[in-house]
């Protein structure tokens, strides 16, 4: 009798142990998939707490008084990113961008607004890319960031590097750029911004759809009439100048992806900072040469070199 109970207890304990092992195994497998698997995107949502992901650079989506990172222009009427999109462009159709939950906001899916496919932010910030077989991708947006010195996207997206992926030209419309309907009379329709629909809340620049740092009409004219043009090696400018020592944006043009470097030299000719930039590829670029380092007060020389080509410019750093 006792022996039977002992055997039954042993079997129950063995079953419980097996069940526990199975659950733990499933949890571990899930963890491995989540943390070691290849993510669908570098960021799958704008932010998780209003301060990370895209918000780390562009700010809380709902904060009023948004100022464009591209041209430093404040959005009309002190609009937030949220109201600029929802109220000014989409006439209050929240489902264009939102899914079942209002927050967090996914970047590539939504509930689908009236007449809109359910692809969220990708509908205006992505395009059908011939180099990806016509798939709708945000290659142009990623290349815009890449050429501006924000290169983290390339860890998950090879199309972020202009040297490895040819983005569709500026003239190609994003999926949401169809003729406005009665429910969305102010939505953007022209990737060349000829009707100013892209710059509705933040003139004068619209969107750099193909990520080459050339905007709208000028880029469309080049794509439609002149075709690809040769880029000229250039050091275009330093901002701010004078600098306070923690930010030094350098704008420059590379005609090819050959090795190139930016250097910061003090008045004695000593190299203070150096950055290899040839990997950014051909095109216009903006990088922060200081990259968070505190520069001492003084006069400096910024030098850009690629092959036999060299350009220099002066910058002052104040306290």
Radius of gyration over every alpha carbon of the chain, rounded to an integer in angstroms: 25
Residue-level pLDDT at 24? 40
CA-nearest of 75, 118, 76, 78 to 94 is: 118
pLDDT beneath 50, residues of the chain: 1-10, 12, 14-16, 18-41, 225-229
Residue-level pLDDT at 271? 94
* CB 47 within 8 Å of CB 38: no
Residue-level pLDDT at 82? 94
Residue-level pLDDT at 17? 52
Residue-level pLDDT at 230? 59
Domains of the chain, each with CATH number or no CATH:
41-228 (no CATH), 234-317 (2.60.40.1930)
Contacts of 263 (CB under 8 A, 6+ apart): 271, 273, 274, 275, 302, 303, 304, 305
Residue-level pLDDT at 21? 45
Distance CA 262, CA 315 (A): 14
Contacts of 285 (CB under 8 A, 6+ apart): 147, 148, 149, 213, 251, 252, 253, 254, 277
> What is the three-class DSSP state of 146?
helix
CA-nearest of 184, 179, 175 to 117 is: 175
Distance CA 110, CA 100 (A): 8
Distance CA 219, CA 223 (A): 6
As given in the structure block, the two tokens for residue 238 are: 């330093």
* CB 123 within 8 Å of CB 107: no
* CB 74 within 8 Å of CB 81: no
Residue-level pLDDT at 39? 36
């Amino acid at each position: 009798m006792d022996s039977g109970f002992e055997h039954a207890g042993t079997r129950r304990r063995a079953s419980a142990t097996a069940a526990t092992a199975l659950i733990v195994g499933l949890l571990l497998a899930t963890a491995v998939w989540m943390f070691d698997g290849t993510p669908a995107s570098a960021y799958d949502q704008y932010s998780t707490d209003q301060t990370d992901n895209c918000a780390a650079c562009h700010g809380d989506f709902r904060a009023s008084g948004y100022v464009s990172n591209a041209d430093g222009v404040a959005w009309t009427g002190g609009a937030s990113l949220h109201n600029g999109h929802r109220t000014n462009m989409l006439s209050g159709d929240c489902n264009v961008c939102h899914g079942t939950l209002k927050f967090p906001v996914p970047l590539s899916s939504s509930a689908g607004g009236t007449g809109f496919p359910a692809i969220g932010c990708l509908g205006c910030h992505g395009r059908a890319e011939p180099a990806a077989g016509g798939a709708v991708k945000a290659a142009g947006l990623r290349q815009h960031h890449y050429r501006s010195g924000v290169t983290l996207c390339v860890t998950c997206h090879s199309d972020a590097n202009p040297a490895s992926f040819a983005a569709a030209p500026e003239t190609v419309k994003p999926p949401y750029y169809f003729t406005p309907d009665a429910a969305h009379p102010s939505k953007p329709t022209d990737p060349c911004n000829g009707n100013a629909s892209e710059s509705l809340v933040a003139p004068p620049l619209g969107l750099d759809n193909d990520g080459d740092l050339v905007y709208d009409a000028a880029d469309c004219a080049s794509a439609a009439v002149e075709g690809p043009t040769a880029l000229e090696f250039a050091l275009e400018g330093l901002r701010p100048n004078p600098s306070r020592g923690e930010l030094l944006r350098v704008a420059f043009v590379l005609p090819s992806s050959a090795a190139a470097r930016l250097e910061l030299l003090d008045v004695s000719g000593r190299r203070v900072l150096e950055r290899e930039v040839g990997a950014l590829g051909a095109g216009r670029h903006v990088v922060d040469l200081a990259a968070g380092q505190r520069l001492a007060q003084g006069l400096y020389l910024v030098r850009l070199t690629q092959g036999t080509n060299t350009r220099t410019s002066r910058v002052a750093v104040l306290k």
